[in-house]
Structure 1
Amino acid sequence: MADAALSPPDTVQKTGRKPFLFIAVIAVMLGAGFASSFFGIWSPMALLPAGKAQHEVKPLPAIEFVSMPQIVVTLAGPQMRTLIMAVEVETTPEKRAEIQLLLPRLSDAFNTFLAEIDPSAFEKRGILEIVRDELATRAIYILGKDAFTDILITEFRIQ
């Protein structure tokens, strides 16, 4: 019994929860850091010193819009329906006079195209994009590719 009292106690460490707890805490911290960065709460780039990044603000190009007369076309078919459309031509100030000079020709081309569209086509999805593309193609034939930037349909009604 005296030997038992003098012998040192067993110093065997139990490898239980400490390593697991340490790894779990690290994993939670990494996950929280990733989540906060992913959801935009903070950014790791904010920790880096700000460089001398010079962002040049480019001025917008000078643009003008040429209004065309409102287009009213009676649609073919048993129902009396009309298409009412307003169009703007986006251009540069240098080309504005050229477009205004050719507006009657442009209106004629647009009216001719719109009168030839099957009335059932207006009930389909995506007709506005098709009409815009076709009007732009006719404008290229009349004005040239460099005379305008875009064709904008500002009103499109079927009554």
Structure 2
Amino acid sequence: MSETLAIDEVPARRGRGRLALIALVLSAGICGFAASYMGFVSPLAMFSKDAGHSEPLPEIGFVDVPRIVVPMPGRNRQLMMSIKLEVAPQDAAQVQLLMPRIADSFTGFLSDIDPAAMDRRGVLEIIRAELTTRAQIVLGDGIVKEVLITEFAIQ
């Protein structure tokens, strides 16, 4: 008699699993329809061409700073950096005109860095912040949006 009970229980468990799966699929379908009907999700927006680009990108320009090579004090090594300044296209001519002052301020700062500081973690972010500050001092606030370090090498 115990064999007949075990056989009867197995189909009941399969039926419960199928019922739970059908209930899950139906509730997911109802929730998806409700979200689409209320405007939370738009299925047509997924197929449109400009779904990800709602705003036009701002116009930017990049001005190259001449490559900077600075000997590191106390060691027989050199610091080499290549930098680009991100500016608005209308300000590029002014930045190019004042490039000798910018390069001088960058070189002065980089030559004063302690060689032991180069081995510390996060030194590149500190250098980028200091170079941004020096560029803003020379050019004025709002002209340089970002200082991009394209090459940083110690040889």
1:22 aligns with 2:15: yes
1:133 aligns with 2:129: yes
> Paired residue for 2:152?
156
Q: Secondary structure at the match of 1:69?
A: strand
Please identify which structure carries the higher helix content.
2
CA distance in 1, matches of 2:80, 2:23: 61
> Paired residue for 1:3?
none
Structure 2: tracts of 5 or more residues without a match: 37-41
CA distance in 2, matches of 1:74, 1:62: 37
1:109 aligns with 2:102: no
| Deviations 1:59-112, CA, capped at 9 Å, x for gaps | 3222111111111111111x2111011111111111111111111111111111
CA distance in 2, matches of 1:148, 1:65: 10
Task: Point out 4+ residue stretches in structure 1 off by more than 6 angstroms.
Answer: none
Identity %: 38
Greater Cα radius of gyration, structure 1 or 2:
1
| Deviations 1:123-145, CA, capped at 9 Å, x for gaps | 12221111111111111111122
Greater displacement, 51-60 / 143-152: 51-60
Q: How far 1:22 moved relative to its partner?
A: 2.2
- Normalising by structure 1, report the TM-score: 0.70
> Paired residue for 1:147?
143
> Paired residue for 1:50?
43
Q: How far 1:26 moved relative to its partner?
A: 3.0
How many residues get paired? Answer: 133
Cα RMSD for the two superposed structures: 2.9
* Match for residue 90 of structure 1 among 86, 91, 107: 86
Conserved? CA contact 2:95–2:139, under 8 Å: yes
